[in-house]
Amino acid sequence: MEMVKLSIDGKEIEVPAGTTVLNAAEQAGIHIPRLCYEPDLSPFGACRLCVVEIKGMRNLPASCVTAVAPGMVVQTRSPAVIEARRTILELLIANHPQDCLTCEKMGACKLAQYCYEYGVKQSSLQGERHNYAVDDSNPFIVRDPNKCILCGKCIRACAEITGKNNLDFAYRGFDTKATTFYDVPFVESDCVFCGNCVSVCPTGALTEKQMQGKVRHWECQKVRTTCPFCGTGCNFDLCVKDGKVVGVVSGPEGAVNGRALCIKGRFGWDFIYNDRRLTTPLIKRDGKFEPASWDDALVLIADRLSEIKAKYGPDAFASLSSARCTNEENYLVQKFTRAVMGTNNVDHCART
């Protein structure tokens, strides 16, 4: 593999040819701010916040779409770069609602984070402002177009991760929107409610309806777990507050799925607190189910299964397991079926 040597902020580094300046800086331990860049998505160069100064270049290129070159000398925090980023942030917040105190994304908003880091408190630019209606037609996602910064991450996530191409840019100039085809509400579009667009949105333009008003992101205790709905093994973090699950957060650290999740993995956690969920064994007596102890339930199961096996033979028994169980529990199910009941009639809902 061809390697390229360059200098970033005075650090001499060597990276593979074709590496972008942004990724090269990351490898050198130098963070470059970005709003439209996401490792799982194709580079776009829309927000321009990742501009850098490269010796010999007249303009300030976006580092996320600029490939390294031999002998390149890069400055990521020169006075010209700092001033350009401040101007870009002022342009972004010129038409951005200033309701940060009540915004659902407070504490996890990239735009607010960078405004704080670069000392941008307000925009000196005045002009027309959007006043779009908030779209909460989707049962899981709230879309506020007024907070959209046109980074295009939701569009690329829908196309490149989910494969639905449900979102794109519509209209032109000041009226440009990241929206559904024909600008219809989410619920009337081809959205499959996977929420991958929400996971990459850097502002409060896309938020999870289930978590609204329940928790701030910094209040969450994050517990890493594996999705129980199928055999893929997607990883995500359970958002826990006061000992109760209030949502699911995916991140790029997921070894199997990265940020990607389906509708069940991201939004199907509420079965935990469903009032129809069984929390104690039930035994039918006189035609009615009555609560019982685990000892009573296990004794009854053992007796009845022994009777069935003795009367009808092992193949009268079959077991069907679930992906919601752990691998160890599923192993025990098939072991019990084969070794105790004496049959190979065992299946699993995620087998296909």
Report if residue 87 sits inside a domain. Answer: no
With respect to residue 220, please indicate whether it lies within any of the assigned structural domains: yes
> Using CA atoms in the order 155, 156, 159, 160, what is the torsion angle rounded to 10 degrees?
-160
Query: Same domain for 179 and 231?
Result: no
- Residue that finishes a domain, picked among 165, 190, 213: 213
pLDDT digits (tens, 9 = 90+) for 121-156: 988 888 888 999 999 999 999 999 999 999 999 999
Supply the CATH number for residue 146's domain: 3.30.70.20
User: What CATH number is associated with residue 260?
Assistant: 2.20.25.90
Residue 83 lies in a domain: no
Residue-level pLDDT at 106: 92
Separation between Cα atoms, residue 250 and residue 42, nearest integer Å: 19
Do both 139 and 72 map to the same domain? no
* Percent of the residues in the chain that have a pLDDT greater than 70, as a whole number: 99
Q: What is the pLDDT of residue 264?
A: 92
- Domain membership of residue 173 (yes or no) is yes
Per the domain annotation, does 95 fall within a domain?
Answer: no
Task: Indicate if 44 and 112 belong to the same structural domain.
Answer: no
Domain that holds residue 36: 3-77
Give the per-residue pLDDT at 277: 87
**Same domain, yes or no, for 260 and 178?**
no
- Residue whose token pair is 């994050």: 222
How distant, in Å, are the alpha carbons of 53, 289, 297, 322 from that of 279? 61, 13, 13, 18
**pLDDT of the residue at 352:** 52
Q: Would residue 262 count as lying in a domain? A: yes
> Is there a single domain that holds both residue 258 and residue 288?
no
Whole-angstrom CA distances from 102 to 106, 136, 147, 215, 300 are 7, 17, 13, 12, 55
Q: Do 229 and 198 meet the contact criterion of CB atoms below 8 Å apart?
A: no
- Separation of alpha carbons 266 and 38, rounded Å: 19
Nearest CA to 15 out of 27, 31, 4, 7 is that of 4
pLDDT (tens digit per residue) in 257-293: 989 999 999 999 988 888 888 889 999 999 999 999 9
Task: Say whether 161 sits in a helix, a strand or coil.
Answer: helix
pLDDT score recorded for residue 232? 83
Length of the chain: 352
Q: Which residue positions in the chain have pLDDT lower than 70?
A: 350-352
- If asked whether residues 253 and 340 sit together in one domain, one would say no
Going by C-alpha positions, the residue among 24, 23, 19, 20 that lies closest to residue 7 is: 24
Number of domains in the chain: 4
Residue 326 has what pLDDT?
Answer: 78
Looking at the structure, tell me whether residues 330 and 286 fall in a common domain.
Answer: yes
pTM of the model: 0.85
Tokens of 204: 């409060």
Instruction: Identify whether residues 25 and 58 lie together within a single domain.
Output: yes
Which residues contact residue 211 at a Cβ distance below 8 angstroms, ignoring those fewer than 6 apart?
104, 239, 246, 247
At 254 the pLDDT is 82
Query: Quick check: is 304 in a domain?
Result: yes
Q: Does residue 84 lie within any of the structural domains? A: no
